[in-house]
Amino acid sequence: MIKIAIDALGGDNGVDTTVKGSMLAIQEFKDIEIILYGDIDKINPLLTNKERISIVDTKVQVSMGEKDPVKAIRTLKDSSLVMALKAGKDKEVDAVVTAGPTQCVVVGAHLIVKKLPQMSRIALCPIMPNFDGNPRLLLDVGANVELRPEHINELALFASITAECALNIKNPKVGLLNIGSEPGKGREVDKETFILLSQNKNINFYGNVETFDIVDSPVDVMITDGFSGNMVMKTMEGTGKTMAKMLKQEIKSSLGGKIGYLFMRKNLARFAKRMDSKEVGGAMILGIGTPVVKAHGNSNDYAFKNAIKQVRNMVSNDLINKVTALLPSTEDKE
């Protein structure tokens, strides 16, 4: 039985989403057991089926607008987020899912769950939609502002095995996001990273990938430092959102557009779904000793259920042991 801790108070919709999503996951996966960390008085009325679900009561929530993640994680020890992560650290559970505020989850993963002794850094790794319908991994999107080549090389291995375990991709192709596709492109850090990745026998390194291909990518895993990854991810999301807004505006601007919309409503809904990151899954924290998935803050039941599915796959496919076996054994890294 795979035990999963849920931060039931996290996310824009709190218990409404997390409790319903948990019940959906329990129905779909017979090999999981869920522990909800949250307000028992709010959870109980929603919990219409208690099969394989237990509750650890806490009323304290990490606010979605939290401006000081380090302080929040250090002081709110009885918050649903910190308690769920602590359970992950202490191996009371096999994995953790939260829809809480991203930077608090990253800081919590870092300070509470802690990185594997063989890893130098952790990374935030969302799943990105792609033209062909097969999701891609992108990292780091903001756990670190800067990463040295050896950090990116370690994280590339972790991400590669994560792509296998979480998304069932065999021998995933790993690409270095860069400003040109030929070797020798980019900053010094990118050139050095390219060499390390080329020499890494534990990954299937494809070479450089340009961001022009971000949604139509030739690789399964796209890696770069946390500053660049964050800039790229938000550019993609923002462009998608603004284009959708433009499209709506143009369609509404004339009678022909409105009539046309009636005919192609379903087509447009499918189009929107293809770019919807809620469809593809939550962001994973890589580099730590217990799988943690950060579902979107505005997840609905279905998206939250999918985040649970994602973390379940990571556990049942033995992600952490597979990574540990391939990392060179070493004393604890800074």
Residue 166: CB minimum distance to a copy of itself, A = 23
User: DSSP assignment, residue 181?
Assistant: S
Quick check: 115 and 292 in contact, CB under 8 A?
no
User: DSSP assignment, residue 284?
Assistant: E
Residue 157: CB minimum distance to a copy of itself, A = 23
Q: Look at the block and give the residue holding tokens 């999301």.
A: 237
- The smaller minimum CB distance to a copy of itself, of residues 50 and 245, is found at 245
- The smaller minimum CB distance to a copy of itself, of residues 59 and 270, is found at 270
Q: How many residues does the chain have?
A: 334
Read off the amino acid at residue 309. K
- The smaller minimum CB distance to a copy of itself, of residues 224 and 313, is found at 224
Number of Cβ atoms within 10 Å of the Cβ of 68? 12
CA dihedral of 80, 85, 89, 90, whole degrees rounded to 10? 20
Q: Report in angstroms the alpha-carbon separations of 162 from 45, 157, 255.
A: 36, 9, 49
Residue 35: CB minimum distance to a copy of itself, A = 33
Residue 59: CB minimum distance to a copy of itself, A = 29
Residue 137: CB minimum distance to a copy of itself, A = 16
User: DSSP assignment, residue 110?
Assistant: I
Residues binding a copy of itself (CB under 8 A): 131, 142, 145-146, 177, 179, 186-187, 190, 210-216, 224, 226-228, 230-232, 234-243, 245-247, 250-251, 253-254, 256-257, 259-268, 270-271, 274-275
- The smaller minimum CB distance to a copy of itself, of residues 50 and 258, is found at 258
284 CB-side CA count, 13 A: 38
- The smaller minimum CB distance to a copy of itself, of residues 6 and 123, is found at 123
Residue 32: CB minimum distance to a copy of itself, A = 34
Report residue 157 as tokens. Answer: 């291995």
- The smaller minimum CB distance to a copy of itself, of residues 37 and 206, is found at 206
In angstroms, the CA 251 to CA 165 distance is 42
